[in-house]
Structure 1
Amino acid sequence: MRALVMGASGGIGSAVCAALSRAGDEVVAVDSPRSTVAADHRRHVVADLAEPGAARAAVLRAWDLYGPLDVLLHVAGLYPARRALESTEELFDTVMAVNTRSALMAATALAELCERHGRGAAIVFTSSGGALRPRPGTTVYAASKAALEAVTRGLALELGPLGVRVNAVAPGFVAVGSALNPVPDTYVEAIRAASPAGRVGTPDDIVPGLLWLCSADSAWVNGHVLATDGGAGLGSRTAPSWLPS
């Protein structure tokens, strides 16, 4: 299996690249010009996913350089913390470009190639529990992920007859220690205390869902958003309660 991983240097991206490599699959890594991902993967494509046309060009280049692609994993994303009243058009456009537009454009580029060559493929996006449960400061991010889930369903409907499946995972909070999307320790602790699992997620918690949706084991799953959140979507253990303490 040859998999194109967009956002390969991130916490989830690097974890899924490692898992694919351990399984003997070929990985083509895509990340920004500022990333060191090229040093970690023999097969790589550089792309700034915020730029128009970059995602599509990355898929075409990967196919031309390394051969037909069986899987597209889009795990790239921006997670800015900004109050709604402080959000700008530039912020909205950038987040939507990376989190949503690049996923759509990459998927349609791959589908066109698959149709031309008579091949199928599995496409898996990375959404978020925030698509349904925004937190203060995540309005723009939540909008991008809600749009991504709509893209998932729409593409699944249209691309299914081509043999191209489109699904997504929706993690809860995942601690990745990102310099690009830094999160205060106090926030991480609050999430841990509220979690039904008693801890926050790690990239390794998300990888099995991503790999399953890529595999033949999920061949009859299409247009689905798989919650991989340790039960966070059920509610908070620290929510107000009338029960005696």
Structure 2
Amino acid sequence: MLNLDFAGKVVLVTGGAQGIGAAISQLLARHAATVVVADVQGETARATATALQAQGFRASACQCDLAEPEQATALVAQVLAEYGRLDVLIHNAAFFPLTAFADITPPLLQRTLAVNLQALFWLSQAALPAMRAQGGGRMLVTSSVTGPRVAYPGLAHYAASKAGVNGFIRAAALELAADGITVNGVEPGMIRTPAMDNLGDDKLNAAIARNIPLGRLGEPGDIAAAMLFLASDAAAYITGQTIIVDGGATLPESTAALH
């Protein structure tokens, strides 16, 4: 039987205030998890948590800039101090301003790697002792098809960070399997979120949708559903893997085959 009951479990979602992160927070809360919404935008995180509370769900908010290692560590410590446990860590926060490769500066590259990749190390390290003491847990991350599978102009820095994320998933899964901790990820394709405004206008988005086999851009809920499964007991025998959620966009050898 598919067990999607998270009663008594605590879930931390970084970048949880809007877009994909908000959808993940909402769906886990609907399945009885206590959800901590962490985001660099503190007011938005608090609004998201308050909205969940108004629906009768258990949620709280934390402001955190994951480009700072000490803040990532402090975030996990705060969750453990408040709730006494952490069952599911979901690193969803990301930074990816559209920038031509030739124009990428050291500060821009550093922040991209710090938020997208390095924070995954610090968050996971901080959560590890508690998960070991509990006898297991879930470490999940929002990766991307950009980098591990395909390329997008202006996102060399982002692609490099997400390729690194997938490497982390595989290596950490091997190291933590004996502790009952699974490490997995979701690779979104083009998802309709506020962050997509960085990539182009409605005309470009419509053109992209026409070249997706399922004929539409993804919605945040599409990613949240995959995360819900990987966080659940139903995925207990899955580790070191990613689920591609892209409407089939990475399948065609040529987009001409779709027309």
TM-score normalised by length of structure 2: 0.87
Identity level (%): 35
2:143 maps to 127
SS in 1 for 2:146: helix
Q: How many residues get paired? A: 241
Q: Deviation per CA, 1:83-117, whole angstroms, max 9, x where unpaired?
A: 111111111100011111111211121112222x2
Residue 171 (structure 2) pairs with residue 171 (structure 1): no
Work out the CA distance in 2 between the residues paired with 1:121 and 1:61: 18
Rate the CA distance shift 1:43–1:158 in 2: closer, same or farther, 3 A. same
Residue 20 (structure 2) pairs with residue 4 (structure 1): no
The 5 A counterparts of 1:140-151 are 140-151=157-168
Structure 2's unaligned 5+ residue stretches are 1-8, 50-58
1:202 maps to 219
- Which deviates the most, 28-37 or 165-174? 28-37
Q: Deviation per CA, 1:207-226, whole angstroms, max 9, x where unpaired?
A: 11101100110100000011
TM-score normalised by length of structure 1: 0.92
Work out the CA distance in 1 between the residues paired with 2:173 and 2:186: 14
2:36 maps to 28
Counterpart residue type for residue 193 of structure 2:
V
Work out the CA distance in 1 between the residues paired with 2:41 and 2:154: 28
- Residue 10 (structure 1) shift: 2.5
Residue 31 (structure 2) pairs with residue 15 (structure 1): no
Counterpart residue type for residue 91 of structure 1:
L
Rate the CA distance shift 1:76–1:181 in 2: closer, same or farther, 3 A. farther
Work out the CA distance in 2 between the residues paired with 1:199 and 1:183: 16
The 5 A counterparts of 1:163-242 are 163-178=180-195, 181=198, 183-235=200-252, 238-239=255-256
Work out the CA distance in 2 between the residues paired with 1:52 and 1:25: 26
Q: Is the 8 A contact 1:127 1:168 kept in 2?
A: yes
2:129 maps to 112
Structure 1's unaligned 5+ residue stretches are none
Counterpart residue type for residue 52 of structure 1:
P
Residue 46 (structure 2) pairs with residue 38 (structure 1): yes
2:78 maps to 61
SS in 1 for 2:35: strand
Q: Is the 8 A contact 1:172 1:229 kept in 2?
A: yes
Work out the CA distance in 1 between the residues paired with 2:12 and 2:192: 24
SS in 2 for 1:80: coil
TM-align CA RMSD: 1.9
Rate the CA distance shift 1:207–1:25 in 2: closer, same or farther, 3 A. same
2:92 maps to 75
Q: Is the 8 A contact 2:17 2:41 kept in 1?
A: no
Counterpart residue type for residue 88 of structure 1:
T
- Residue 180 (structure 1) shift: 8.0
Q: Deviation per CA, 1:8-35, whole angstroms, max 9, x where unpaired?
A: 1120111111111111111011111444
